[in-house]
Structure 1
């Protein structure tokens, strides 16, 4: 089969050229420049050209001849033998009959009918070789073809030799009265014959090349939906009209090209408690519509539970139904224990997305993905593959808890990207508030240092008054002069000490006489002369010392009388007066002045590091406001996207949805109480108040849901500001005190209030008449379920799996809502339905029908295929109440084909 997806289960689209001539037609080659050469084409060349054109099925319809049917069959077998990879071209034997009145008719028969039988049938139509026309009318010939299980299609009806080119109104009416007339071969876009329009017949239009040369094969063709090509499959496809046939003139591309469609391709179960024990239970799904049928207890719903398990969809179930699912996925240790799994259970599934296959394996309570031939733990399936699964109980629960719809409302817009932006904004806000808090610490430190600096400067100022400064300056000068005087004193004190020592040494030395009696006279004479001079020096020194000895003794008296010491005494008196004054200013130590000066310098240097804290504080406050505006914009975006989705849904169906922003008071109360750590009913009058009738009547949460000014967002902003205003008098004193205490001990609580996003409320109403609605709670179970199901079918193009939607529904609801909805949506999304109702299977023209049975202690898929398959039709009749009636009712014009 020609398809971008190699294997499509059940019905799929086959490329059919409905009108092909071979050299067996006498006028073959008329379109070629070399007619005689054209007639020499071999059957293999003929088929290879069809393969080149990607044709799946050829309707070989030579003029009044079946000569090339067996030739093409044999040639096709030889081509397959030569190349096993070649895609076989299916040959539908047919004939183009020239009916009385020169109207052409295509008579198409099953692919395996022998030529001798075809010739026998052809003999029944009364063909006159002399005039090359039948002796019977078009309606008569058609009835003969149909009676012999063929399909009769008037050829090129809007062109010469076509039905509507005849002038015989009776002939046209006669053809239109043929009950099993299913299709016309049409060359143009529409048939403008008034008789035909008045008949209001639902007839399919097909296209064929009417090729009379090899190159024209496949120049026009029709896509036909069939499981496997057969005359029965073609008959049903033609009856289904646009759901069964697509003309090449009006459809571009390949309808089997599913690269833009996501779908569950198959699931396979091994070693479950009641499935896949002897051999894997393998279920293939159609990318369009799959119906799973079977009697009670055959495991139909179990297949959906296995799908839910491998797709990790438990959290989407209402809490009331999660226990049932938990029981299903329990590992059963014995026959009596609940659970469908064993220690050895393995589930495999394949999902196709963007033309690629993704393979998953569940085993040992872990989900893996096959990547590059290796198993890796799978993550994020819900986001990557948003396949939706519902059962009837779940649908009904959704009518009781409309909030469950929010997740599906949010699936219609980029709520995942929005959530990431929201989380990012929250993180930015928290980070900004941390920096604001840290900067506030610096601001406070700066203020403390500024206060300390002012105190130091005040103390320094006491030291730096005019009088104090003069005394302190004098003290400095006196101290310097005193040091200088003491230096002089120490110098001369040292001189006097050394002079006394020298005097004593001289006296001692001068009194010591030396013996020189052995010296010669001349030497003695010289020594005596030298000694005389020395003694003169000694006598002079002694005289000088003794004259100044009094002065030496009076050095201390002389030094103490210096004026500098008098100045010092006078300065000290002044300093004492200043010290007393400083003590009155709180300064105990006069020597602290230089310490204060150093402290001042140190503080000034430290404050230089805090120069920008106020500027940074302003910048951070502005950043905070910018982030809050981003946050408010995201809140508004959520509401607008939800409201846009709800509005589009309200345009169709019988369910009206109303979205109340921040209106889910029960949930919002719960979340707010968690933020402020006050559960129960404490502060009810401030948070959410109830009146005597137990109706909500006041409090923060109530006002959020019922803004007085009608603007929920402005009301929300004001509420956040009010809650975090420590001086607000709006609330009760105890509530205010509780909040302020929280803020004081944990500044993150304030952040949580600003980042608290109250939930919206969804309200559902059923349409009961034109512009008349009632609360969904007032509707019947059938009304409620059909309404919610209709809505779910509108929601998106993602696959949807529904388990027994017909429960609680009457036949009219099934026809009006389910069948209609499925037929509209299966063209754009995969739909899988477990059902007991034959009308769903038959009237949606389910491309894949899976018949489930329980035999040998195991769930089995006994048959699967399209409606054309006899086994499937038998199963519908046998296991589905009213199955035969449903088939006969839908296909009343071709009932014989279903026998």
Structure 2
């Protein structure tokens, strides 16, 4: 793989450029080294100065052999060299002419042919002091155009000797700039005087790019890279790329500083198995466009990106089964997708996901088993095909959730935890919901047993069996005591087990706060002493529990020793009407029931405690919902402050339609009338309010309906009390609700809105142009998109050529599918092969492209405008 390919692997990039380089072929060039080592030293200096683009511009001279040799060396180092010449106009102005490769390739060296023609009859024109040529700018351009190959002009050192502003003044200067030939001037070099530069642009009626160059003739190799710098964005080392960069200088030329990527981004995706087996796609941190005919696999790649990053399909996604089906169809069983990410800290992670399994996350090739994607990378904002034109009632809420959901995650996590706590409390309460009837049954059992015992008392049986009755009662009490100790010991064990690890951890801090951490260590030692005391309590409690076991064993033994005596008494008492065993059974029932009553009393206290806890949790949950709303509103206010045509309003718990639907769903068949549903909805904000005060239902429903309402409410209690009545989100475009606009207006508003969200790093949309006209795409979407590059990554699948071409896509992926395999050619917008794909796929091929081009050239734009 060549170095040049690596440079543009992730799309067009910013390279340091030098537009005014001299070499050993220049008469003034200072070089005293070995001639056969010149090329190596020259390219090494370019590399040392991090120059990625250079234009060789010797004074009135082009040495083809030297240039070809230098260019070959430069290419191996990932440096693009372009042929040029520093040319002396008749006016004494020096210009830099940059040529397409076709000028020197082939049998004729057209560059030297032009130079010879320009200096016809003039001797030593490539020697100091360089004489002026026979051509003024107009004549030079005519001579260049006559050859018929591509070129452009850069005005050299415009504020210095032989520069435009040194040689020309006043009307002459204005005429020079306003002449038609000046259209071939795309840039000026070494422009230091802002007033002069603005004058030039005003006369030219356009912005002229500013570039820099070493002009290193006198300084030789060592002077390369000295002075001010320019960065140029290109996607290939060809003439057209450099020419276009200068014509789009607002976005492709950067003086002084190299623009840095500020956003996190998806760096690449590769595949193992399936239809894309062994395919790798590298992405630019800026604009990426996937192109291809319908059914070529564009949507499949985007859906696999979504799937690999764990982004679920929205509940309102258009055709979710189809979108999930694309993933299965392409990946196949056992297929793997691998995504490389770069986060905002410039840390690189790799996500590997086998179809149907959980992803694995790697950093530096080391598996990170205990982290999720959320911990390393904010999910992209993702819209699948037709999602932006979705008119579902929940679209607005879904859109906001996609945009700012990550900022709401902390409070949403607390909400989820609180819901689980509420569900647990309700579960515990339901276990205790029959206490009243259980208590009544137990009290009745005691009274019935007492009544039956009266006959035994009258017959004197109670007195005769008193001793055995006491034994049974005492054994029951000691057993109960032993059970209590066992629970106590178990709680001690759980407490120690739960916190033992805490005391084994080391606590260390930075050297900056070492004194404070010494205090922490001492505190930890003190606490550990107290914890060790609890362990000793457990040891002594275990011993005590054993003692109780011994006592229990003794009383059982004592009772066993009196077994014959008890049997004798029973035989004496036993008659056809009196069974002494039944007497003992009734006494045991009373004793057990009394113990059960005590447990019921404890449970009643527990139920009261649970109800109080539930009330507190419901209050907490409501406050968390309010906190979520406030955060949401703050984010929305920030969005609204961007002064966009699109505004958002958020209303707390105002999706009354959803509350009404839930009411009808739960209480269907209860006989409640429509008007009663509406009255309940207007009376209560949500189900928590009904739980807190259900008395208002008595004036809305009849007695039977109230009973049935409360029964069902209790049946679905955990679901209802954790049910959130959604906030209502209203999105307006030009002060009119979004759902009242046409699909085209709606889509354009949403795309512009998405582009305005600077907090998001990655935006992925499948066919954003759907429902948009070309004028809207260019005037609003593309112009805005170009401004944002470098702060957000875009990955679009599109059928509209305006997006990759006018959007100046840093990376273009051309997709194709032949029912057996899918392919994805990946290149930059400047790459000739990529341009070939764009023409074939998006313009209908050469014939259609050229036919349309010819028609447009015939049309008179001025007449059309009239």
Whole-angstrom distance in 2 between the partners of 1:627 and 1:763: 30
Provide the residue aligned with 1:762 in structure 2. 729
Provide the residue aligned with 2:398 in structure 1. 405
Deviation at 1:875, TM superposition (A): 3.0
Deviation at 1:757, TM superposition (A): 3.4
Alignment of 1:663-674 (within 5 A): 663-670=654-661
Provide the residue aligned with 1:155 in structure 2. 156
Q: 1:9 to 1:721 in 2, by over 3 A?
A: closer
Q: 1:351 to 1:633 in 2, by over 3 A?
A: same
Deviation at 1:285, TM superposition (A): 2.7
Aligned counterpart in structure 2 of residue 44 of structure 1, from 40, 43, 50: 40
Residues 16-61 of structure 1 show CA distances to partners (whole Å, capped at 9, x for unaligned) of 12222345545556xxxxx989999944333222212222122222
Q: 1:722 to 1:836 in 2, by over 3 A?
A: closer
Aligned counterpart in structure 2 of residue 833 of structure 1, from 776, 792, 796: 796
Q: 1:55 to 1:306 in 2, by over 3 A?
A: same
Deviation at 1:652, TM superposition (A): 5.0
**Aligned residues of 2:291 and 2:798 also touching (Cα < 8 A):** yes
Provide the residue aligned with 2:137 in structure 1. 138
1:365 matched to 2:367? The reply is: no
SS where residue 87 of structure 2 aligns?
strand
**Aligned residues of 1:368 and 1:376 also touching (Cα < 8 A):** no
Alignment of 1:49-68 (within 5 A): 49-67=45-63
1:167 matched to 2:169? The reply is: yes
Aligned counterpart in structure 2 of residue 270 of structure 1, from 256, 268, 273: 273
Q: 1:76 to 1:25 in 2, by over 3 A?
A: closer
SS where residue 9 of structure 1 aligns?
coil
Provide the residue aligned with 1:100 in structure 2. 90
Aligned counterpart in structure 2 of residue 210 of structure 1, from 207, 215, 218: 215
Residues 171-227 of structure 1 show CA distances to partners (whole Å, capped at 9, x for unaligned) of 544445333432222433745443532543132222223334244422332222222
Number of matched residues? 670
Whole-angstrom distance in 2 between the partners of 1:27 and 1:699: 94
Aligned counterpart in structure 1 of residue 650 of structure 2, from 651, 654, 659: 659
Q: 1:800 to 1:681 in 2, by over 3 A?
A: farther
Provide the residue aligned with 2:11 in structure 1. 10
Whole-angstrom distance in 2 between the partners of 1:282 and 1:97: 46
Q: 1:155 to 1:627 in 2, by over 3 A?
A: farther
Deviation at 1:649, TM superposition (A): 4.1
Deviation at 1:135, TM superposition (A): 2.0
Deviation at 1:321, TM superposition (A): 1.1
**Aligned residues of 1:360 and 1:367 also touching (Cα < 8 A):** no
Provide the residue aligned with 1:550 in structure 2. none
Q: 1:228 to 1:410 in 2, by over 3 A?
A: closer
Whole-angstrom distance in 1 between the partners of 2:89 and 2:253: 26
Deviation at 1:114, TM superposition (A): 4.1
SS where residue 388 of structure 2 aligns?
helix
Q: 1:681 to 1:310 in 2, by over 3 A?
A: farther
Whole-angstrom distance in 2 between the partners of 1:231 and 1:169: 34
Whole-angstrom distance in 1 between the partners of 2:719 and 2:837: 60
SS where residue 396 of structure 1 aligns?
coil
Whole-angstrom distance in 1 between the partners of 2:102 and 2:693: 87
1:787 matched to 2:795? The reply is: no
Whole-angstrom distance in 1 between the partners of 2:770 and 2:351: 32
Aligned counterpart in structure 1 of residue 185 of structure 2, from 181, 186, 207: 181
Whole-angstrom distance in 1 between the partners of 2:320 and 2:808: 33
**Aligned residues of 1:145 and 1:151 also touching (Cα < 8 A):** no
Whole-angstrom distance in 1 between the partners of 2:301 and 2:850: 26
**Aligned residues of 1:2 and 1:56 also touching (Cα < 8 A):** no
Whole-angstrom distance in 2 between the partners of 1:313 and 1:320: 15
Q: 1:406 to 1:830 in 2, by over 3 A?
A: closer
Provide the residue aligned with 2:115 in structure 1. 122
Whole-angstrom distance in 2 between the partners of 1:341 and 1:877: 29
Deviation at 1:234, TM superposition (A): 0.5
SS where residue 134 of structure 1 aligns?
coil
SS where residue 812 of structure 2 aligns?
strand
Whole-angstrom distance in 2 between the partners of 1:434 and 1:301: 46
Instruction: Please list every run of 5 or more consecutive structure 2 residues that lacks an aligned counterpart in the other structure.
Output: 436-597, 859-866
Q: 1:816 to 1:234 in 2, by over 3 A?
A: same
**Aligned residues of 1:265 and 1:352 also touching (Cα < 8 A):** no
Alignment of 1:695-774 (within 5 A): 698-700=679-681, 702=682, 720=688, 723-725=691-693, 732=701, 737=707, 749=717, 756-767=723-734, 773-774=735-736
Aligned counterpart in structure 1 of residue 813 of structure 2, from 850, 853, 857: 850
**Aligned residues of 2:17 and 2:53 also touching (Cα < 8 A):** yes
Provide the residue aligned with 1:201 in structure 2. 206
Whole-angstrom distance in 2 between the partners of 1:376 and 1:883: 51
**Aligned residues of 2:382 and 2:764 also touching (Cα < 8 A):** yes
**Aligned residues of 1:59 and 1:91 also touching (Cα < 8 A):** yes
Provide the residue aligned with 1:804 in structure 2. 767
Q: State the structure with more CA Rg.
A: 1
Alignment of 1:496-507 (within 5 A): none
Aligned counterpart in structure 2 of residue 387 of structure 1, from 352, 369, 380: 380
Deviation at 1:262, TM superposition (A): 1.5
**Aligned residues of 1:350 and 1:359 also touching (Cα < 8 A):** yes
Provide the residue aligned with 2:593 in structure 1. none
1:421 matched to 2:414? The reply is: yes
Whole-angstrom distance in 2 between the partners of 1:300 and 1:811: 21
SS where residue 730 of structure 2 aligns?
strand
Q: 1:804 to 1:655 in 2, by over 3 A?
A: same
Alignment of 1:133-532 (within 5 A): 133-142=132-141, 144-145=143-144, 147-165=148-166, 166-167=168-169, 169-176=171-178, 177=180, 178-188=182-192, 190=194, 192=196, 193-194=198-199, 196-211=201-216, 212-213=218-219, 214-219=221-226, 220-247=228-255, 249=256, 251=257, 253=258, 255=260, 258=261, 260-268=263-271, 270-272=273-275, 276=276, 280-316=278-314, 318=316, 320-330=318-328, 339-340=329-330, 342-343=332-333, 345-354=335-344, 355-369=346-360, 371=362, 380-381=372-373, 384-398=377-391, 401-408=394-401, 411=404, 414-424=407-417
Whole-angstrom distance in 1 between the partners of 2:801 and 2:397: 30
Deviation at 1:760, TM superposition (A): 1.0
Deviation at 1:618, TM superposition (A): 11
Residues 48-95 of structure 1 show CA distances to partners (whole Å, capped at 9, x for unaligned) of 22212222122222322335x744754676799xxxxx7343322322
Alignment of 1:601-620 (within 5 A): none
Deviation at 1:268, TM superposition (A): 3.2
Q: 1:286 to 1:432 in 2, by over 3 A?
A: same
Instruction: Please list every run of 5 or more consecutive structure 1 residues that lacks an aligned counterpart in the other structure.
Output: 30-34, 81-85, 331-338, 443-605, 690-697, 705-714, 768-772, 893-899
Q: What is the RMSD computed on CA atoms of the aligned residues?
A: 4.9
**Aligned residues of 1:159 and 1:187 also touching (Cα < 8 A):** no
Q: 1:648 to 1:680 in 2, by over 3 A?
A: farther
Q: 1:382 to 1:679 in 2, by over 3 A?
A: farther
**Aligned residues of 2:381 and 2:402 also touching (Cα < 8 A):** no
Q: 1:224 to 1:756 in 2, by over 3 A?
A: same
SS where residue 397 of structure 1 aligns?
coil
Residues 667-710 of structure 1 show CA distances to partners (whole Å, capped at 9, x for unaligned) of 33455678xx5356765669841xxxxxxxx433x456xxxxxx
**Aligned residues of 2:332 and 2:355 also touching (Cα < 8 A):** no
**Aligned residues of 1:121 and 1:148 also touching (Cα < 8 A):** no
Aligned counterpart in structure 1 of residue 834 of structure 2, from 861, 872, 881: 872
Alignment of 1:570-649 (within 5 A): 631=621, 634-649=624-639
SS where residue 762 of structure 1 aligns?
strand
SS where residue 648 of structure 2 aligns?
strand
Whole-angstrom distance in 2 between the partners of 1:207 and 1:102: 20
Whole-angstrom distance in 2 between the partners of 1:79 and 1:154: 25
Provide the residue aligned with 1:778 in structure 2. 740
Provide the residue aligned with 2:667 in structure 1. 678
Deviation at 1:782, TM superposition (A): 1.7
**Aligned residues of 2:67 and 2:83 also touching (Cα < 8 A):** no
